[in-house]
Amino acid sequence: MAEMKEFGFPFDAIEDEKTGEFDRVYSAKDFAEYFKQFISNGVYPNPSNGLEIEALTNNMVVTLHKGSGYINGYAYVLPEDLPMFISPSHASYNRKDSIVLQWNATTREIKAIYKEGVASANPQPPQLIRNADIYELQLALILVKSGIQRITQAEITSKKLDVSVCGIVHAVVDTVDTTEIFKQYETYLNQKITEWNETKAQQKADWETQMSTQQTGWQEQTTTQQKNFDARQAIIQAWFNEIQGNISKLQTFNFDNIAVLKGCTRATNILVANGVKTVTETISITLSGKKVAERINTFNLDGSIKVELNVFDEDGITPIDYKSSITIVTFSADKNTITEVVT
């Protein structure tokens, strides 16, 4: 019967004085076997976004946040954020990719690995590898929809809390089982998404019904308003035609024959400044206040008189050139001769 070898760990090694060799040597595997007995596989919970996958760019690159993990007694540390490139999307089918933390006994390293899935009508994520040489923890699942050119946060599902594929490092013999909590979270989230979609659909239907009802009311109201507008427009047009006819008549008048200007008002304003006397006579339509004509008599210091006559267009502002004039009246020294110059 073979003798069972007992093993104690760790004790100081003692050097043999004759051979120079130590009586015991410990390997990295010995330490890993020791630590994995009470430290579970997974990612460390602090910081909360440690080894979390996040879409921070407007393209097919995601960011693995700095953090730490633990696999089979071996530690992994990512001291700074790491960009990870996602393969281009398929033109017709969706794809499910995976980002894992991979322990490799052959290469003696732990690295974050991007694993591309297969595009299909029913895509499945790549299988995790867990054997004597390779052991993987799934950090995130990424849905790569067909035809997209950028990854958004909505397509990334964190798997850190799912103990069946990853989990949180726990310093006891057994890992804290968060699978049910994770499933409850997913169920709750899916339920809320379904409720929101139902609410959104109902709101859309209510809005369409309301808009249809309002549109019918608006059409009826618009028809009534159009009829009222047409009636008012006819009244205004008749009034305008009458006023326009009156203006046409007024523009042929003799300024001093106010008696024929029915519906008009005549006003006179006298102003004296620096010895010059100005008499302004204005004829305007009584109803609108628009000017029909204006005569300005200026009595200059040299004895001459300037008479400016303006007859206005329908706007009451623009003078009609062929009806407006300026007359300069001058007197001879003996007052026996009067000269009038009209321009």
Q: Is the pLDDT of residue 183 over 70?
A: no
Q: What is the DSSP letter of 60?
A: S
Q: State the residue for tokens 């004829």.
A: 283
Tens of pLDDT, residues 14-48: 888 888 887 777 677 776 676 666 678 889 888 88
Kind of pairing, strands 276-285 and 109-115?
unpaired
Q: Is the pTM above the cut of 0.85?
A: no
The pLDDT score that the predictor gives to residue 48 is 82
* Other CB atoms within 10 Å distance of the CB of residue 86: 21
Q: Is the pLDDT of residue 171 over 60?
A: yes
Domains in the chain with CATH codes: 8-37 (no CATH), 39-191 (2.60.520), 258-342 (2.60.40)
Q: How are strands ordered across the β-sheet holding 156-158? A: 109-115, 95-104, 134-144, 156-158
List the single range of 70-74, 190-194, 257-261 with lowest mean pLDDT.
Answer: 257-261
